[in-house]
Amino acid sequence: MGTLSAQNNDGGVIDSVYVKISNDIKHVTDVLDIIEKQTSFNCLYTTSVGSLESSTPIISEGTIGLYKLLQVLEDKFSIRYDIQDRNIYLKLEHDDTNIQIQLSGTVTDEEGVPIYGVTIKVNDNVTQTNFDGDYSMNVRSGEMVTFSYLGMKTEKVEVTEANINMTLVPCAEILSEVMVTGYGTQLRKNVSTAIVKVKPEDFNGGIVLSPLDLIMGKVAGLTITNVANNPNGGVSIQLRGVTSIQGGTTPLIVIDGIPGGNLDLIQPNDIASFDILKDGAAAAVYGTRGNNGVILITTKQGHKGKATYEYATYFSKEFEDKHAKPDFLKAADWRKLIAQGDLSASLDHGASTDIWDALINKNNLSEYHTFATSGGGEDNRYRVSFYYNNFEGISKENAREEVGGRINFSQNGLQDKLMIQAGIAVNHNDANLLGGGNFGTVIDWNPTDPIYAEPSNSNPGKYGYYEIYGRYNPISRYSSRSYERQQLTLSATAKVSYEVLKNVKAQVFWAYQYDNYEDRYYRTTKDWTQYQEGSPYSGTGYAYKSNYLNYNKLLESMLRYSNTFGAHTVDALMGYGYQYETIEFFDVSNSGFTSDATEDWDIGSDNSYSTPTLSSRKEDNTLISFFSRINYSFKNRYFFQASWRYEGSSRFGANNKWGDFPAISGGWVITDEQFMKQQHVFSFLKIRTGFGITGNQDIDNYQSLASLSGGYSYPIYYDGVDEVLYYTTYGPAKNVNPDLKWEKKEEFDVGVDFGFLKNKLTGTIDYFSRTTKDVLYNYSAQLPSGVASTVLANVGSIKNSGVEITGNYTPIRNANFKWDVALTGSYQKSIVKSLSNDTYFLSEFETGNIGNPGSLGNAFLIKEGRPIGDYYGKEFAGFTDSGEWLFYKADGSIGTSSEVSDADNRIIGNGMPKYQASLINNISYKGFYLSVFLRGKFDYEILNTLDMFYGNPYIIGTSNVLQSALTTHKHINETPIYSSYYLEKGDFVKIDNVQIGYNFKELGFVSNLNLYLSVRNLYTITGYTGRDPEVDDTGLTPGMDDRSYYPRTKTFTFGLKASF
């Protein structure tokens, strides 16, 4: 660096610039501070310059010109300086170190509006803009600084001055977002299939009992139903309709490359993204497991730079949704009926009981804690997280406590040709399973029955007993029983990638997943069931214990070629996969324990009057695959993808163990064409289409093979008169089907990705049509050649079609205020095309048993040519003057219940929602933010089974009833009968999640702090009179409001997230 003349690059002359020295100065930094304070120049210097000092004064008191002062520093310390604009750069003469700079500036959009939260990164140094769009950070000259912000084009510039102001321009997520596609990634712009990404900033807030709660309502066409907030329950998942009758209909879950990943191992703060492969062209690379779509979950990895720390916690409180509580007669209502002579006085048992309320855990409080740290050097990265959860349900004796963690690590080597990645995750949970399932058993409880009673010889406990329709006192059971589960789940992965040739990488991926749980159940000597009259072990204990073990091993090897030459880009892969799964199960039970001292820990004890009952089994399956895929783009404008998977499964017959699963797709970015450059309507426009074939192997093991079961007796001796001796052994239990194969789905998809108004409005529209062939069902076997009455065979077909829409719009965005709106919507229908072929004939079958009490039969009909979800029963025509049912007959006439038969049944409605939609509004003002999430389902009917039986006044006295039995249905004078009378419109709009929070600026060592409060299931708008219109609407029996349910709740969550 040479010494310049006394003129800076702006043409300003520094000869006339003077500074005043008031004290003798010995430190160079003091000199430079004076220059900055008394002039308009900034001094930028290396560390070595900043440490210089002199034993004698550098400058004495007085006034000196700036040019002369700089010459003094050069002569005394060999400091070389350079002047550019208003910056003075100083370094020692032979020092090659870049000068440290206090870099600052403002980031705005095209309209000059400051942008809050822009990430500015220089190597390991990272900061963000404040609410005014300002930033500052220490950097060195010559380094590259990157400005990035969601929805904006990332900019990178070299540091040549101390002040860099940046203007960011919109860049649709459609273009810049990285999508996980299975065995690789692609920019969203390049994707030619139907894939949806959901990132942490889009997750649902509040308590999370399943990771899938985070994306409920976020993906068009993906149905996630959680009809209960049970900490030990699960969710129902379905993508683009029903694809099977006998096989599974749940999408494949892939966690960090592990197909069939266990969701217990995933915590919200560990998730980097969900990527949903919706169409056949995207999912075909997973072959026999892609029929129902694929949900890819990617966990967070480490980052380069100094260690960062994160802590997150929340506390949740559940309150019973009173609108969803069944409105049964209370004790006062009961006694009023007695006083009126409508009930016998003997039915007043003296108490006033709300047994439902007695089951509610009003003191519930759930808590979640997680801590994570991540960092890394030039060649390695790590992220380590730990968590503790304690979830308490609204039901007593219903909770889950868990602890676990995850480690992700990567290491580069051999000049970045080698990459090693490893991960391990573990979860241990203790669950109380005793409660949660009792609400359906107490809804008909006599409100005058006491919960507690005086002990007696026949009832040694302190609880009352109530027996009607097999009901019992659950409070008593909570005292005299225990039911616990201990579960350990873990996974381990290792991936090694090596660049064997230029543009060619070889990869080996290994994964192991282990899931083991033990159930322990015990009924004490004071349990009513153990004390029932006539029991051979009256007054003794009962113990049960079971152990389930599942371990899964996966090995995949792959070669990948990636290259760009001119306008052409090619990314191709080919690989081999081997997956082996083993399941082991063992259980034991015993009765007759005279003491409760050992509970289930001494089942074979001499303290028992009986012999233990044992059972066990072991099963396994193997899946072998060969797969390939090629992605090609021309001018980054035209895209083509083709994939093929050849797969063999041990689950299928000897004649059909292997199958082919090809796919093809293409895309065209129209806005990159020259003829679109002058238009100002579309910011981005891409059309894409694809076709793919996928399979479904989600059936039980050994279904194609002959199997044996015990308990068969064969004669081994006959004395010629009347004595026969039998030998008990194994015998054939199932028919063989060597032609059994996977169900195959052929799917066509066409979609449009678009952006308007400089990408303020973006979205996608998809139309899909899928047909599942060779659908599995248990058909009647041809006897006597068959050893069993049914055989599992591939016969039928199901067609699904629909439209999906996703839109994102930003109406307002300025320095302090931002408003984002996101919308999803879908329409879909599922139709059974056929159930028969030349060998097996079946035109229809009924399913969906309504259950007891009432013996009301099946509710649904699966029939060729009809949609899935059809209710099938009697069509209500009115009542007789005496309150008896009237129904339409097949010939159009009307008859009473005794005059109609099952032959008069008809299609009376459908329980599958045709339309689903969600709307989210995100509003932020400075540090405050508000999120309001609404979702709804439309055009379907719900079968109100609770009202069907308990809303009937005819059963008063044999059971408690709903208030509707005395009001809406008081005219009924006949036993409950399933008919269209009990079908109601299920349409609803739910204010599902409201969250308000505040993001704090830096607070000392805390780089980011977020406090929030969220409410789940806040309010439901519906005309449905039952408990809640959101019933399970997946599978073959959608829309039936089951009477055995878990209470609906409103959940309030207070949380904190902090980064250090």
The pLDDT score that the predictor gives to residue 4 is: 30
Of 451, 436, 428, which Cα lies nearest the Cα of 397?
A: 436
Q: Contact, 324 vs 315, CB < 8 A?
A: no
Of 10, 417, 425, 132, which Cα lies nearest the Cα of 255?
A: 425
Angle at 234 between CA 703 and CA 493, to 5 degrees: 70
Angstrom distance (rounded) from CA 399 to CA 363: 12
Percentages (nearest 5) of helix, strand, coil residues in the chain:
10, 50, 40
223: CB partners within 8 A, 6+ apart = 236, 237, 238, 239, 916, 1033, 1034
Q: Which amino acid belongs to residue 79?
A: I
Q: Contact, 482 vs 520, CB < 8 A?
A: yes
- Residue 894: helix, strand or coil by DSSP? strand
Alpha helices in 383-498, H assignment, sequence order: 474-480
Q: How many CB atoms lie within 10 A of CB 671?
A: 17
Angstrom distance (rounded) from CA 5 to CA 67: 9
Burial (CB count within 10 angstroms: exposed 0-12, middle 13-18, buried 19+), residue 585: middle
Q: Mind listing the pLDDT tens digit for each residue in 863-905?
A: 999 999 999 999 999 999 999 999 999 999 999 999 999 999 9
Q: Contact, 120 vs 126, CB < 8 A?
A: yes
Q: Which two tokens stand for residue 396?
A: 């007593």
DSSP code of residue 132 = T
Strand partners, 932: 921, 994
The pLDDT score that the predictor gives to residue 458 is: 54
How, if at all, do strands 707-718 and 399-413 pair? unpaired
SS (H, E, C) 931-973: EEEEEEEECCEEEEHHHHHHCCHHHECCECCEHHHCCCCCCCC
Alpha helices in 249-330, H assignment, sequence order: 280-283
- Tell me whether the omega of the peptide bond preceding residue 853 falls within 30 degrees of 0, making it cis: yes
Q: Which two tokens stand for residue 971?
A: 């005219």
Fold of 18-96: Phage tail protein beta-alpha-beta fold (3.55.50)
Q: Contact, 224 vs 265, CB < 8 A?
A: no
Angstrom distance (rounded) from CA 982 to CA 886: 14
- Residue 802: helix, strand or coil by DSSP? strand
pTM value is 0.85
| Count of alpha carbons within 13 angstroms of residue 502, beta-carbon side | 2
Angstrom distance (rounded) from CA 757 to CA 568: 30
What's the alpha-carbon Rg for the chain, to the nearest Å? 36
Q: Which two tokens stand for residue 383?
A: 């992220």
- Residue 338: helix, strand or coil by DSSP? helix
Classify 963 in phi/psi space as left (phi over 0), alpha (psi -120 to 50) or beta: alpha
CA torsion sign for 700, 704, 708, 713 is positive
Angstrom distance (rounded) from CA 858 to CA 554: 42
The pLDDT score that the predictor gives to residue 1060 is: 87
Q: Which two tokens stand for residue 898?
A: 């005794």
Q: Mind listing the pLDDT tens digit for each residue in 223-255?
A: 998 877 889 988 889 999 999 998 888 999 999
Lookup result for tokens 């190597």 = 123
The pLDDT score that the predictor gives to residue 721 is: 62
- Residue 612: helix, strand or coil by DSSP? coil
**Average pLDDT, 10 consecutive residues per value, the chain (1060 residues):** 34 70 83 86 80 82 85 86 79 75 84 80 80 83 82 80 84 67 87 92 88 93 86 90 90 93 93 94 91 94 88 95 86 94 90 90 96 91 96 94 96 91 97 88 85 64 57 82 96 96 95 97 85 66 94 96 91 96 95 87 74 89 96 94 96 92 96 88 94 92 83 63 69 85 94 89 96 92 72 93 95 85 96 93 93 83 96 97 96 95 96 96 92 96 94 89 94 94 97 94 82 95 92 92 84 94
Listed by start position, the domains of the chain span 18-96, 101-169, 312-704+740-869+911-940+986-1059
Angstrom distance (rounded) from CA 695 to CA 693: 7
CATH of 101-169 given 2.60.120.10, 3.90.600.10, 3.40.1260.10, 2.60.40.1120:
2.60.40.1120
Angstrom distance (rounded) from CA 280 to CA 290: 8
Angstrom distance (rounded) from CA 540 to CA 522: 11
Lookup result for tokens 């001018």 = 635
Helix axes 66-77, 28-38, angle to 10 degrees: 170
Burial (CB count within 10 angstroms: exposed 0-12, middle 13-18, buried 19+), residue 1010: middle
Angstrom distance (rounded) from CA 1057 to CA 268: 12
Q: Which CATH class is domain 312-704+740-869+911-940+986-1059?
A: mainly beta
Give CA 726 to chain center in angstroms: 55
In percent, how much of the chain has pLDDT > 90?
Answer: 56
Angstrom distance (rounded) from CA 300 to CA 383: 8
